[in-house]
Structure 1
């Protein structure tokens, strides 16, 4: 069965559902949620952001408020960087950009002069060669992404616009440089740039073949990370506003908290 067939099968089964859950929160996609509620007979409950934000509190309590690190841990490096100065780069683990686009990203980051933390599972030796020997950047195979995004030195996120990454960035209040690849990612990219207005669309700089050159990447990175330009300030301000909205949604009395409580009541009542 193809991906499209899976989607169609899932949609057609909604009429038999007792409840429809979403990993987003009502405030982020109120128009869609309200439309679904008016069209469907079952409760529509957005209970997100469904990300591991509770682990942030666990880590804080276990370390008595101090961040624990280990040799090679990126947090030791992040702690030494200025506030909002680091661009976090992660383009997902399932699908990634082409080899030529990866090269352009590496060259663009190198010429931008911006500090970066890049999570890259494959072709890291090639990227290290292109970026060169620099103390401005760090390349790793894995990190605790939400914890990184919540670090005060991280001021931007070059992302493939996967759902989890998008929700984590919104929760952390980090502006995004959107580079969606496939499936639902272009939709998330439009939400980031056009609806929530918390990022820039990197595809705007693509040539006729869809390739984004290194110099355009460098310009986009510097534009997002600029501390003194009006549009960058506006994006950062809106990102922080959405961060506050996310925080309120998961607190007692918030939209997601109440929806999750409603779900638990439904489950208990059906037993």
Structure 2
């Protein structure tokens, strides 16, 4: 939270920068700002020849469902499957809500000229259209995915090739589940234990990124080394690899041996997984993740739930992990999810190569260049 509030100091410098750009005889200055920077840019819409566009790092489904909840969950065709989505207030700590309330004072059509999403109409057309209605027709552009669709790593030099990719090269197609919970989640010791046992009992191959969340205090020297059951790494070495530091997520998801992704369902991870056609075993932890998970599992049908959000206060059992991994990686149900995920990936790739996503970007550029 201190790092969020520190951004408030940017208000005057950003305003000064924009004035400098205008004084250099630019006809127009276009500002694209993150949705958590509304306080910082609050003065800019009042300046002539400035246009502001809000970039949303979360899904359009997350944005729309928030307004839908505030309005009492009115009926809209296509949204009836989400009557059981979690309440937004349960997903964020009170301190973050206090920060958001400050941001929301500077929200709305009088402050912005349009909104951008790291998404695709192939994925979220319904919710982008519903968001446009919420803003009385304000333009919504889905110009994602922002991640490369064909990630490449310099692999001729073995010193530059990550160990996980070398290991994946030796595995069969769609035989490995990638387990990673992003940079903002730390599992407790008990969760690590049951996840380890569940992966082992599933008898499926895996790459597990086992690391604590990034620290808010970059100067702290305290680093926890997560403890695994005694003898664990020796027992699973033939069919599993554990990475205790950074891992090349894009390259792992794009690898032909990767057939599943156990994820917290952060939106970047969802977009990357969908880009490469990898179905998701959803284990949401906080923030927008509890709402991204039903989008993936119930609407797109390219995944399954490991732990329902309603049971978030319970420690998942190793049997639940085992069954989720087996279902995703070694069942006809999992095969169907993989096929739908592959079809979605192909549609996303077509949309970025001269398709609807390219048209979205062209539309945005034409709009700001008018």
1:34 and 2:129 are equivalent in the alignment: yes
1:190 and 2:291 are equivalent in the alignment: no
In structure 1, C-alpha distance between the alignment counterparts of 2:133 and 2:179, rounded to whole Å: 39
1:238-267 deviations in Å (ceiling 9; x for gaps): 111111121122111x22211111222233
Match of 1:132 in 2: 233
1:200-240 deviations in Å (ceiling 9; x for gaps): 100159979511111221121111101xx331221111111
Secondary structure at 2:307 match in 1: helix
In structure 2, C-alpha distance between the alignment counterparts of 1:130 and 1:191, rounded to whole Å: 38
1:10-47 deviations in Å (ceiling 9; x for gaps): 48523121111011111211221111223324211011
1:76 and 2:138 are equivalent in the alignment: no
1:129-155 deviations in Å (ceiling 9; x for gaps): 463312211111122111110100001
Secondary structure at 1:200 match in 2: strand
1:17 and 2:112 are equivalent in the alignment: yes
**What are structure 2's unaligned runs of at least 5 residues?**
6-94, 213-223
CA RMSD, aligned part only? 2.4
Secondary structure at 1:27 match in 2: helix
Structure 1 67/262 Cα, relative in aligned 2: closer, same or farther at 3 Å? farther
Does the Cα contact within 8 Å between 1:97 and 1:181 map onto a contact in 2? no
Match of 2:358 in 1: 257
TM-score (norm 2): 0.65
TM-score (norm 1): 0.87
For residues 109-188 of structure 1, the aligned pairs below 5 Å read 109-122=199-212, 126-127=227-228, 129=230, 131-133=232-234, 134-140=237-243, 141-188=245-292
Structure 1 73/182 Cα, relative in aligned 2: closer, same or farther at 3 Å? same
Deviation, 1:109, is 0.8
Structure 1 77/31 Cα, relative in aligned 2: closer, same or farther at 3 Å? same
Deviation, 1:83, is 0.7
Higher Cα Rg, which structure: 2
Match of 2:188 in 1: 98
Structure with greater helix share of residues: 1
In structure 1, C-alpha distance between the alignment counterparts of 2:100 and 2:205, rounded to whole Å: 40
Does the Cα contact within 8 Å between 2:195 and 2:321 map onto a contact in 1? yes
Deviation, 1:179, is 0.1
179-188 vs 37-46, which moves further: 37-46
Residue 345 (structure 2) aligned to one of 235, 238, 243: 243
Residue 88 (structure 1) aligned to one of 157, 167, 178: 178
| Corresponding pairs, count | 259
Does the Cα contact within 8 Å between 1:25 and 1:49 map onto a contact in 2? yes
1:146-185 deviations in Å (ceiling 9; x for gaps): 1110100001101000111010000010011000000100
237-246 vs 206-215, which moves further: 206-215
Deviation, 1:7, is 3.5
In structure 2, C-alpha distance between the alignment counterparts of 1:11 and 1:244, rounded to whole Å: 40
